[in-house]
Amino acid sequence: MSVEQSDDLGQLLSILDLERRGDDLFIGRNPPRVSTPRTFGGQMLSQSAVAAARSLTRGAPPVHALHAHFIRGGDVHKPIEYHVQRFRDGKSFANRQVTAVQDDEELFTVLVAFQDTLAGLEHAVDIPQAPHPDELPTMGEQFAGYEDKITTFVDALHPIDVRFANDPSWKLHTAGRSLDHNRVWMRTDGPLPDDPVLHVAAMCYASDTTVLDSIITTHGLSWGFDRLFAATVNHSMWFHRAFRFDDWLLYATESPVAAGGRGLGSGRFWTREGALVASVTQEALVRHFPRKS
């Protein structure tokens, strides 16, 4: 990670700086460089988290959970309206619903819950074993030699420094291997402001990457090599402890089930010290169309 922010991280922070139009309407922009025809789901997650947090009027309890449903794909060339509904503003709790709208059509809706941290029972599962991130290749090094196969990933915005602790799907495919889990270290590619909302938003953005990989690698498949279609249906996150997303976190994911044309990915974020700070579950339409021999 460089001392200064990368250009791509600057673009992420720019699109998280929503334009406010009234108390409960925010406008989100798309980054200037996109590699897909549809708005990246992590972008809508992160922008919605910011919109919900910026609507709080009685202090700012931390984000506790969010539960999102994706309805339509967004047009990457048009802004997105984020409409906030206020469900509760309590002393220690707050609840919001945020709906993303484009051309008068709903793209996405999310419930966001806020809760002050309280003392109580504590336990957590242990962090999986993984090499230190500084010992692992960068994404650019992982892409080398595969640029013509995974152009969507290569050309995408890269505000997050991602270090695979296992081979990514394209290298597993080349080696004829399958894998039922995925381990990646993540942090923003440069420092973030101290605002905890931006750290949550950056994690929301990053959580929509790699979480589905175990669905396909369980079957020895890979993006770019096999004819695959994937579209997120819903995405949930729970935030257990405070964290900084400009420091390394291990994102460990697996897929407990795929059935009915859908696959489920689940993941957890740990600090380097082994503290479990967040949990993620995502369901997506995942279709494989084998090539005819």
Q: 280 in helix, strand or coil?
A: strand
Q: Where are the beta strands (DSSP E) in the chain?
A: 19-20, 25-28, 63-70, 80-89, 93-102, 105-115, 160-164, 181-188, 228-239, 249-259, 262-271, 276-288
Give catalytic status of residue 282 as yes or no.
yes
C-alpha closest to that of 212 among 132, 108, 105, 286: 286
Give catalytic status of residue 208 as yes or no.
yes
- Catalytic entry in 39, 188, 232, 253: 232
Handedness of CA 237, 243, 247, 249 (dihedral sign): negative
- Catalytic entry in 8, 161, 189, 208: 208
Give catalytic status of residue 210 as yes or no.
no
Q: Are 182 and 19 in contact (CB under 8 A)?
A: no
For the chain, how far is it from start to end, CA to CA, in angstroms?
45
| Residue 201 to residue 209: CA distance in whole angstroms | 14
Q: What residues are labeled active site?
A: 208, 232, 282
